[in-house]
Homo-oligomer: A and B are copies of this chain.
């Protein structure tokens, strides 16, 4: 088949099927041939819509970031806005854990990430933070939230008691973390978020006495 009168592919459909593959089997399972097969097409056809495979992965990540709710940033007081945004961002990536390695692919040249940075920075400046501080806060929040999306802390510990006792005395009970990893990660995220915003509020208060 060549040049059908209505195109077989579109960027949207490619990203959709690619996301499904990555969600189901991980980033490594995404190859151009595999993706093409599931799209009912040959691999080189993809290059009519994306210049490289990397662009496809970027588009997957961008679509996820684009789904992050930003409405609180133009509405709530800045501490609540930061909190709500951080939770939304983390939730978006927890829904696609296999895409997280993409977060490490260097920073954001992608439109959704820029929109997000714009909204966070704008909210902080509107709230009364000096621009230089707003930049730093946006970056610091990104560090924390991206790091928390990066992967489970608790899941790093294997559910095997014999592994730790001997070599790592303080980790004697760490094997229990694996079972409760969701709660542990959730509680750690909330504690860190609270502490971080708490510290920022103190600085804000010192700035506006």
Q: Which residues of A contact B (CB under 8 A)?
A: 100-101, 103-109, 111, 113-115, 117-119, 121-122, 125, 131, 133, 135-148, 150-158, 164, 167-171, 173-174, 177, 184-185, 187-189, 191-192, 194-200, 202-203
Contacts and interface: CB of A to CB of B under 8 A. Distances in A.
Contact of A148 (B119, B143, B155, B184): B143
Q: Which residue, A115, A133, A146, A187, has most C-beta atoms of chain B within 10 A?
A: A146
Q: How many copies does the complex hold?
A: 2
Contacts of A103: 104, 150
Determine the main DSSP class of A at the interface with B: helix
Q: Which of A169, A170, A203 has the most CB of B within 10 A?
A: A170
Given A104-B103, A147-B148, A194-B199, A154 B139 contact: yes
Given A147-B150, A152-B107, A156-B107, A136 B196 contact: no
A109 to B, nearest CB: 7
A200 B195 contact: yes
B170 A125 contact: yes
A202 B198 contact: yes
Contacts of A146: 147, 150
Contacts of A187: 136
